[in-house]
Amino acid sequence: MAKAPTVQDVAERAGVSRQTVSNVLNTPDVVRPGTRDRVLSAIDELGYRRHGPARRLRLRRSSTIGIRLDPYVGGISGVVLDRFVHAVTERASARGMRMLVYSARSAEEEYTRLSELWDSSEIDAAILTGTVRDDPRVPLLDERALPFVSFGRPWGKDDIADPRHLWVDVDGAGGTRAATKHALAYGSRVAFLGWPSGSGTGDDRERGWLEAMRAGGVGGTRLTATEDVAAARGAVAQSLDDGFDADAIVCVSDTLAVGALLALNAAGRRMPVIGFDNTPTADALGFSSVEQRPEDVADGVLTLLMGRTGDVVVPRRPQAGTAHVLIEPELVVR
């Protein structure tokens, strides 16, 4: 194979200095158009390829953000995370950043993977998703000083308010509060179909229902099922057998809403069912659902990482009050 052409080769071919070639590559605005065209022609003719790793080596920066892409497990609501990854990829591109995706099967594997990428300077920062109570990734990444923003609150003792931990989240309680207020128009008996207690996200969404019911001076039945259509269908069918009745059901997810609808259908019953996530399934089946606005989450994450206008700064010591973004979800009524 022939030796790859160098900047020197381009400079000779175009009859300019190496500095001029470098200017055309890095700050083309300072080069006169005629000269610029000559250099670009030489680049084309010689097939010169600019070498990204060399540039990054000089800058000691990768301009790359890492994000985990979980192994696919199916389910209706996984689409929200995919929408977020799509949106963050698009917006990062617009800011001149690359997105590197990696897979991991556990928090530990994710930490190992991120450490490798960080140690070899492949990434400048990471975006965490799927946060859980006392998330084990948070102290580990803190120790490494690896900058990160999470989609989802870390939900630890004092993590949520800690300005060192940047996060963007959706106000789940606000979403179910809006859904419940809407459902109360159909009658005072608004039931909630939630996940078993103990998940930060699920408890938060249940709180919104409770608050709206209390504000309306009413109470309602609470049913639970794991995140599975058949489980939700079974739980609602069993409750109907046991005499459960309501004017509407607010659900913690579209998955559970589909299960509730199937159980009601099979029992020949009809009542409004409201889901959470506004998935394509909710759209296809025509039930109302709370929209999480993952595109706005993506905007929030990149703004926290890079600043509103900046393209490089990873704020290592953000100010309290500017470290957290809570997105207000929106009820899509069908």
By CB under 8 A, tell whether 55 contacts a second copy.
yes
Among the listed ranges 74-82, 167-175, 183-191, 312-320, the one in contact with a second copy (CB under 8 A) is: 74-82
By CB under 8 A, tell whether 284 contacts a second copy.
yes
- Of 200, 189, 321, residue with least CA distance to 243: 189
Per the CB < 8 A criterion, the answer to whether 269 and 233 are in contact is no
Residue 41 or 197: the one with the smaller Cβ distance to a second copy is 41
> How many of the other CB atoms lie within 10 Å of CB of 203?
17
Residue 104 or 160: the one with the smaller Cβ distance to a second copy is 104
Per the CB < 8 A criterion, the answer to whether 126 and 67 are in contact is yes
Residue 7 or 173: the one with the smaller Cβ distance to a second copy is 7
Among the listed ranges 66-74, 132-140, 194-202, 218-226, the one in contact with a second copy (CB under 8 A) is: 66-74
**What one-character DSSP code corresponds to residue 318?**
P
What burial class does residue 96 get, using C-beta atoms within 10 Å of its C-beta: 0-12 exposed, 13-18 middle, 19+ buried? exposed
Residue 14, token pair as written in the block: 């175009």
Instruction: Report, in Å, the least distance between residue 28 CB and a second copy.
Output: 14
Please list every residue from 94 through 113 that binds a second copy, using CB under 8 A: 98-103, 113
Instruction: Report, in Å, the least distance between residue 251 CB and a second copy.
Output: 13
Q: What are phi and psi of 221, to 5 degrees?
A: -80, 140
Give whole-number Cα distances, 220 to 154, 226, 323, in Å: 30, 20, 37
Q: Which amino acid is at 118?
A: W
Instruction: Report, in Å, the least distance between residue 57 CB and a second copy.
Output: 4
Residue 180 or 303: the one with the smaller Cβ distance to a second copy is 303
Q: Which residues pair with 224 in a beta bridge?
A: 194
By CB under 8 A, tell whether 6 contacts a second copy.
no
By CB under 8 A, tell whether 268 contacts a second copy.
no
* Angstrom distance (rounded) from CA 225 to CA 239: 12
Among the listed ranges 132-140, 251-259, 268-276, 324-332, the one in contact with a second copy (CB under 8 A) is: 251-259
Residue 83 or 181: the one with the smaller Cβ distance to a second copy is 83
* Angstrom distance (rounded) from CA 324 to CA 166: 6
* Angstrom distance (rounded) from CA 293 to CA 250: 19
* Angstrom distance (rounded) from CA 240 to CA 246: 10
Residue 100, token pair as written in the block: 């590197």
Instruction: Report, in Å, the least distance between residue 91 CB and a second copy.
Output: 8
Q: Which of 33, 72, 270, 321 binds a second copy (CB under 8 A)?
A: 72
Give the number of residues in contact with a second copy, rule: CB under 8 A: 52
Residue 283, token pair as written in the block: 């759209």
Residue 180 or 281: the one with the smaller Cβ distance to a second copy is 281
What burial class does residue 135 get, using C-beta atoms within 10 Å of its C-beta: 0-12 exposed, 13-18 middle, 19+ buried? buried
Q: Which of 27, 120, 309, 319 binds a second copy (CB under 8 A)?
A: 120
Please list every residue from 148 through 207 that binds a second copy, using CB under 8 A: none
By CB under 8 A, tell whether 53 contacts a second copy.
yes
Residues forming the site for a second copy (CB under 8 A):
49-57, 62, 64, 69-72, 74-76, 78-79, 82-83, 85-87, 89-90, 93, 98-103, 113, 118-122, 229, 255, 258-259, 262, 280-281, 283-286, 295
